[in-house]
Amino acid sequence: MKRLVILGGGYGGIKILLSLLDHQLPEDVHITLVDRNPYHSLKTEFFTIAAGTVAERDVRLDFPDDNRINYVYKEINKIDSENQKITFENSTEVISYDYLVIGLGCEDNYHGVEGVEEFTESVQTFAKARHTGLAVGNLKAYGKVSIVGAGLSGIEVASEIRESRPDLNIRLLDRGASVLKAFDSKIQDYVAEWFIANDVDVLHHANVEYVEKDGVCNNGVCYVNDVTIWTAGVQPHHLVRELPFTKDRQEKIVLNDYYQVPESPNVYVVGDCASSEFSPSGQLAGQQGEQIAEVLLAVLQDKKPKKPKEIKLKGTLGSLGKSDGFGNMMQMPITGLVPRIAKSGVLWLNKRH
Ligand SMILES: Cc1cc2nc3c(=O)[nH]c(=O)nc-3n(C[C@H](O)[C@H](O)[C@H](O)COP(=O)(O)OP(=O)(O)OC[C@H]3O[C@@H](n4cnc5c(N)ncnc54)[C@H](O)[C@@H]3O)c2cc1C
């Protein structure tokens, strides 16, 4: 028997699973998918859960019902790559593998700033996004929310909360001189104007020194605040950072051309945990997933896999509430309703697939 275990049914893991199931698999292949949640989470939409604008049923999908897959819904607490075993929290169950895919995503990077772990909300897991949604939703009229980090997720969180709660005082702390540093200046200006028009206070050149239960201290000034949301950086999952494999500067696992770990070629890594020339994204994880499935199909059929082609990303789309947005499509910056509709279209397609 060939035991293939996929850790994480997120953007990368689900793509691998669906692509494999599209094919006739050898009889002796046994697939197990492990996730803490009994559903596929649409992480790119977690900002809506944090803002309370969408029902959580709309941000998750059932895993495929197929008798070729065994599902395990548990919290993984160790990947024992030496003995090829996976163990779980509060459970004596142990899963052994012959082939392993690691697609556990990323988690917040607190950059060692005091108080962040204890006192900030997050959008990095479903449970955390839900917790953030409750904290924001329970705020009294004119409550104060600070969002630290003005990358894509910080912008989407801030604008969605603004649309959800016009009464709140919202402050966005941005480390750079302009929001969305990875985007074109036309988009940066458009988003900056949206925040001015929608009364979101943006502080540039932020350098958060510490966070307390009721405030954020930045560049020597402490702002009293009811809820602080951290969107100021991510790092690969801690179980991945613990593995004895070669990592890049961001602690992602370095892979060969076939997404295999050179030290253990029966281990594959997808998405936010895999070293890549591209920034982490759901789109990248999905494309890598398709390619890993092709490699795995060959390996499981005892054939030599073809070298995966170069990844070609289609651009990024972001939202500013429900009827405005921005994006880079085919190297062109676009703003307004069109990219917002396109983003909803991408979500609809993802759900259908
Ligand atoms: C607010 C926000 C907005 C974003 N917007 C975009 C966007 O517009 N476009 C885009 O392309 N990307 C976007 N991203 C980034 C994108 O969500 C990630 O890059 C993508 O989800 C990575 O896919 P993945 O498969 O590596 O991991 P994930 O999709 O995060 O999947 C990881 C899976 O592992 C499971 N898991 C983790 N730890 C454990 C454990 N210990 N035990 C069991 N299961 C576990 C999780 O439940 C999850 O199902 C956004 C992210 C955020 C937070």
What is the tens place of the pLDDT at every residue in 101-152?
999 999 999 999 999 999 999 999 999 999 999 999 999 999 999 999 999 9
* pLDDT for position 352: 81
Residues 164, 194, single domain; the answer is yes
Q: For residue 351, what pLDDT band results from cuts at 50, 70 and 90?
A: confident
Residue 353: pLDDT over 90: no
Residue 350: pLDDT over 90: no
Residues 292, 147, single domain; the answer is no
* pLDDT for position 10: 98
User: What separation in Å is there between the alpha carbon of 278 and the centre of ligand 1?
Assistant: 15
Proportion of the chain above pLDDT 90, given as a percent = 95
Unique residue bearing structure tokens 């100021």: 232
Number of domains in the chain: 2
Query: Residues in the chain, how many?
Result: 353
Domain boundary among 211, 232, 253: 232
CA separation for the pair 170, 164 (Å, rounded): 12
Phi-psi region of 326 (alpha: psi -120 to 50; beta: other; left: phi over 0): beta
- The answer to whether the CB of 56 falls within 8 A of the CB of 130 is yes
- The answer to whether the CB of 266 falls within 8 A of the CB of 99 is yes
Quote the longest CA-to-CA distance of the chain. 64
Contacts of 216-222 spanning 24+ positions with Cβ under 8 A: 216/146, 216/148, 216/173, 218/173
Ligand 1 site residues (CB inside 6 A) read 8-13, 34-37, 41, 43-44, 46-47, 75-76, 103-105, 123-124, 152-153, 156, 237, 270-272, 280-283, 285, 316-317
* pLDDT for position 283: 95
Q: For residue 234, what pLDDT band results from cuts at 50, 70 and 90?
A: very high
Q: For residue 182, what pLDDT band results from cuts at 50, 70 and 90?
A: confident
Residue 329: pLDDT over 90: no
Residues 208, 148, single domain; the answer is yes
242 within some domain = yes
Containing structural domain, residue 270: 2-36+74-107+234-300
User: What separation in Å is there between the alpha carbon of 43 and the centre of ligand 1?
Assistant: 5
Average pLDDT over all residues of the chain: 96
276 within some domain = yes
Residue 248: pLDDT over 90: yes
- The answer to whether the CB of 303 falls within 8 A of the CB of 288 is no
* pLDDT for position 330: 78
Q: What is the average per-residue pLDDT within 205-219? A: 95
Query: Which CATH number characterizes residue 6's domain?
Result: 3.50.50.60
Residue 230: pLDDT over 80: yes
User: What separation in Å is there between the alpha carbon of 249 and the centre of ligand 1?
Assistant: 20
For 21, 114, 154, 172, the CA distances from 206, given in Å and listed in that order, are: 47, 15, 14, 9
pLDDT tens per residue across span 287-318: 999 999 999 999 999 999 999 999 999 889 99
User: What separation in Å is there between the alpha carbon of 306 and the centre of ligand 1?
Assistant: 27
Residues 268, 296, single domain; the answer is yes
